[in-house]
Structure 1
């Protein structure tokens, strides 16, 4: 069978579904997400590789694919970071997806992905203190 990226699997957790359903809103709010935010999250998940990283095209290109403005893409990415769905890493245009919510690969790899997430978030908090 030919390997096709359209048939890659990813897993989600009940925690993800529970948390997302709690924060979905039709009105704006700091701790809620709306349909454009969910669209961007799904776009990012679709770009996720086996290391739980997603290298994104420009916000303009994402916007063209999702029919959203680059400003709205920026707002969604900022909100997804604030809500700990993703974190920006040192690689250009690349984000690490929180494995507590979504991951690609075997469940046996999950522990190392959690450790990477903890390290990245710990480093981010230290960077913000300076």
Structure 2
């Protein structure tokens, strides 16, 4: 189930960045989605934290503010933040600061969950 939620998050994030015209093309079947497999980029991260434990904790939060406070309270190094972002396949810029990385983590993990929950609870039969 966890993999399905992560997959839906990827699809939701992709669709969220499309224009109205692109969405209409998809709906009318004049365009289609394509899976493009890129080359694997290897980066060596050296971190002293247990990434899985931190990720599990972040996923439990129900507000962006709580998640941000938790991450900031850990006083993580940039290499740690990058390792967590890599776990969630969050693209980072080479000049992203720790604050920017934390914001991206929170938005992509907690923010996406909140958006997905809002979609699930929306009555589309109106």
The two structures have a TM-score, normalised by structure 1, of 0.31
After TM superposition, the score normalised by the length of structure 2 is 0.32
Is the radius of gyration larger for structure 1 or structure 2? 2
Structure with a larger share of its residues in strand: 1
* Greater fraction of residues in helix: 2
